[in-house]
Chain A
Amino acid sequence: MMFLRKQLPIILAFLTGILLWLQAYVPAKPASDALTSFTQSWAVILSAAALLLGILSAVQHHMTKIKLHRKGHAYSYITLAAFALTFIAGFFWRPFPGFAEKNIAEGSFFMWIFDNIFTPLAATMFSLLAFFIASAAFRAFRARSFEATALLIAGCIVMLGRVPIGELIPLPGGHDLSDVASWIMNVPNSAAQRAIMFGVILSQVAISIRIIFGIERTYMGGSD
C-alpha cells in the first residue's frame, strides 16, 4: 500500500519527466515524431480523465453539502439540477421534441440552454466587475505613497489612452494621450512582463527538476 501511495507516483513522475525531456532532444525525426505522438495521446487521455475527476469531485462536494445541510446547501440543489439537465441535453441519444436533431447543433436543446441560460449568466457575472471596479477605485485607489501615485497616474493614462477619448486629449509635439498609453504598454510594461515571465519560467524549470527527482512531493497531497 505504501508503495502505491509513495514510491509509484515518484517513479511515474520520474519516468514521464525524463521521457518528455528526451522527446525534445531526439534527433531522428521518425523516432521523435513517434515519441511526440505517444506522449500527446497520453496527455489528451489524462486531461480528459482530469476533467471527469473534476466533475465527480464537484458532484461529490455538492452531495456532501446537501447531506450535511451546510450553509447555502439549497444552491447545491440548483447546481446539481443544472448539471444533470445540461448533461442530459448534451448526451441524450434522441433529439428533444421541438429542437434540432443533433443534440449539440444549432437549434438543439443544449444550445438553447447555452444561449438562454449560460450566456446571459456568464455575461452578467463578468459585467458586474465594472460596478465593483468603479466602487473599489473610488474607495481604495489612494495616492498614499510614491509607488501608489506612480501606479495611479500610469493607470489613469492607460485607461484614458486605450479608449477613443484619449485620442482627443492633445499633448505637445503633435502627440495625444493614446501615444503615451501605447508607449507605456510597449516599453515599461513589456520590460516588466518579460522580467516576470523569465522569473516564472526559471521557477517552473526548478520545480520540474524537483518533481522529476522526487524532491518536491506536495502534489501527492503531503508535505516535503
Chain B
Amino acid sequence: MHKLAKIILNLDRRIIYSIVMLCVAVPLIRPFGLPFRVTPEVQDGFELIESLHKGDVIVISADYGPSAEAETHPMYVALLHQCFRKGVRPVILTLIPDGPGLASRGLADVLNFSDPQTQQQPYKDFVAGQDYVFLGYKTGSQAIMIGIGQGFTGTFPTDYNGTETASMQIFRDAPKLSDTKCVFDIASVGLPEYWIPYGTERAGIPFIVSCTAVSAPQYYPYYTAGQATGLIGGMKGAAEYEKLVDMAAITGNDGPATKGLDAQSAVHVFIILAIVIANFFYVIDRRRPLSGGVA
C-alpha cells in the first residue's frame, strides 16, 4: 500500500494535465446536457431588466477582456438580446483598456443576428445614438463613474466611432446616470466595488453585477445588503441567464455558457476526486516525507 501511495503521490503532472484536457474536451464534443436551476441572485437581476419598459435606458459596463471571455461574454450577448428584444436602450462603455474589442464585436454580432426560423435580422434597423450607443474606453474608472453622474456627453464627447454624443437622442432622453434605470456591470476586474459608491449609490439607481466565478464571493455582501440587485457569477450564472433569456429559442442553439457547463462540471468533479485520492494516500503515507513535485 505504501508503494502504491508513493506512486500516486508522485504522479507525473502530465497525466493530471491529460485528464483535465479530456474532462474539458469530451463534454464539449459530446455534451451530457446536465439540467440546472436558476438561482435567486440571477433571477433577481433578470427580473429587474424584464421590468423595464420600451425606451428605458440602462448602462452596460463591459469591463472584461479576452482572458475572461468564456465566463463573461455569453452574459453580455444574452443581455443585449434581452434589451433589444424589449426595446430597452443600452449605453455601453468599458473601463478597462482591453474591453472595447469584445464589447464592440459582441454588439456587432447581436445587431447582425439573423433569426434562424424567419431568416430575418430583427435588430438591423437599430440606430446608433438612438436605440443604443457604444462609448468605448476611457481611462480613470472612478472619475468616469462620477463624471457620467453629472452628464454622459461631458465625459464622453464622442462615441467609439468618433460621432458627437451631444446630438444623440439617447442622451437627450437620459443625459446623466440618474436618468438611466440601472447599471449592469459585466466585469473580470474589481470595478463593481467602485460602481456602487461612485456610480449607482450617488445616482440612486439599481446595480447588477456579473463577474467571473472566482470573484463572485467578494460581491455577495453587496447582494445580501441589497446594494446589488442581482449577482451573476461565472459561467454557471451566465448559463442561468441564457436560460432565462431563452437563448436556445432565440438562436436555435444553447448559448456558449450553457454549452460549457458540462465541461466545467467534469473538471470540478475530477479536481475533487484528485483531492480525495491524494488525501487518502497522504493519510496512508504520512509517516514518510512527502515527495514534492512541480505544480
Q: Residues on A close to B: CB < 8 A?
A: 33, 36-37, 39-40, 43-44, 46-48, 51, 102, 104-106, 111, 114-115, 118-120, 122-123, 125-126, 130-143, 152, 156, 159-160, 162-165, 167-168, 178, 182, 185-186, 189-190, 193-194, 197
Contact = CB atoms under 8 A, between A and B. Distances in A.
B104 interface: yes
Given A162-B213, A164-B34, A186 B224 contact: yes
Nearest to A123: B66
Secondary structure of the B side of the interface? helix
B170 interface: no
Contact of B70 (A105, A123, A138): A123
Interface stretch (B46-54, B117-125, B177-185, B268-276): B268-276
Judged by DSSP, the binding face of A is: helix
B104 A106 contact: yes
A179 to B, nearest CB: 10
What 7 pairs between A and B have smallest CB-CB spacing?
A43-B143, A47-B140, A164-B34, A122-B66, A119-B66, A164-B36, A126-B67
Contacts of B20: 130-131, 134
B279 A165 contact: no
B96 to A, nearest CB: 12
A130 B267 CA distance: 8
Contacts of A122: 65-67, 69, 98
Interface of B: 9, 11, 13, 16-17, 19-21, 24, 34-37, 39, 65-70, 97-98, 100-102, 104-105, 108, 138-144, 146-147, 150, 154-155, 160-162, 213, 216-218, 220-221, 223-224, 233-234, 236, 261-262, 264-265, 267-272, 274-275, 277-279, 282, 292-293, 295
